[in-house]
Amino acid sequence: MKLIPLPAFSDNYIWMLHDARRALVVDPGDAQPVFDFLQQSGLQLEAILVTHHHADHVGGVNALRERTGARVWGPARERIPQPCSPLHQGDRIDVLGVGFDVFDVPGHTAGHIAYYAADITANDDSAPVLFCGDTLFSGGCGRLFEGTPAQMLASLDALAALPGATRVCCTHEYTLSNLRFAQAVEPGNADLAHHVAHCEALRKRLAPTLPSSIELERRINPFLRSRLPTVVRSVAQFDPSAHDEAGIFAALREWKNGFR
């Protein structure tokens, strides 16, 4: 299998998995980049996996379904273009011979789900693959539009507990701006400084900084590190009233919202 990010809009990625004959895509906010790639490569689109209801993730679903007959899967608790097979926490689906486990990851939206393939070989690599939509970004996390800080913290905890080698396929190229914020939170984090240099070189030649890995995110992402003393101390400078885990996480998210 091949795993590739198709760029869309200004900073979205539509992830595609294909076996040279059949393909699936995740969160096609725009149909055109998918059509173009399918045509160029002679692929048949079999399935569309949706993580949440935002337009930049579902905008291309109807056009793709109408033209290819692809089956659409999505979160049971959100309004996704119909027909869409509804998925809940704990469900497992088989697409292109790959098994995907479904996780509920509320926070960015109330019904947001993620797809996790433990057994997969893609790009000659057998590390698991995670499609996490706008829940986990490299160096950051999604904004809390519909969920609470406690929900987002629990969702990120669940993702952070996946095997370290897991390839994290996020839907946006936000890495460099996330890492600038991460450095403000943890100026002494050497792994972070190293990763910034790596990502700057990638972006200079317009290459994606993704997929990331769970192991890397545990070392550099302040939103997976909000209980560590260094992060707690930094957050206290931004908001001295933040105290429990959810409160510190909430303050960290607030800090990021206003960070330029």
d(CA 9, CA 30): 8
Residue 29 φ/ψ, nearest 5 degrees:
-65, -25
* 160 versus 170: smaller Cβ distance to Fe ion: 170
Three-state secondary structure call for residue 251: helix
Residue from the set 30, 134, 173, 217 that interacts with Fe ion by CB under 5 A: 134
The answer to whether 134 contacts Zn ion (rule: CB under 5 A) is yes
HEC profile of 42-66: CCEEEEEECCCCCHHHHCCHHHHHH
Q: Nearest distance from residue 131's CB to Fe ion, in Å?
A: 13
* 30 versus 56: smaller Cβ distance to Fe ion: 56
The answer to whether 27 contacts Fe ion (rule: CB under 5 A) is no
Q: How many residues bind Zn ion (CB under 5 A)?
A: 2
Q: Nearest distance from residue 172's CB to Fe ion, in Å?
A: 6
The span of 30-38, 51-59, 82-90, 238-246 binding Zn ion (CB under 5 A) equals 51-59
Q: Nearest distance from residue 26's CB to Fe ion, in Å?
A: 12
Active site residues: 52, 54, 56-57, 108, 134, 172
How buried is residue 146: exposed, middle or buried, by Cβ count under 10 Å (0-12/13-18/19+)? middle
Site for Fe ion in 31-60 (CB under 5 A): 56
How buried is residue 156: exposed, middle or buried, by Cβ count under 10 Å (0-12/13-18/19+)? buried
Q: How many CB atoms lie within 10 A of CB 245?
A: 16
* 6 versus 228: smaller Cβ distance to Zn ion: 6
Q: Which residues bind Fe ion (CB under 5 A)?
A: 56, 134
Q: Which residues bind Zn ion (CB under 5 A)?
A: 54, 134
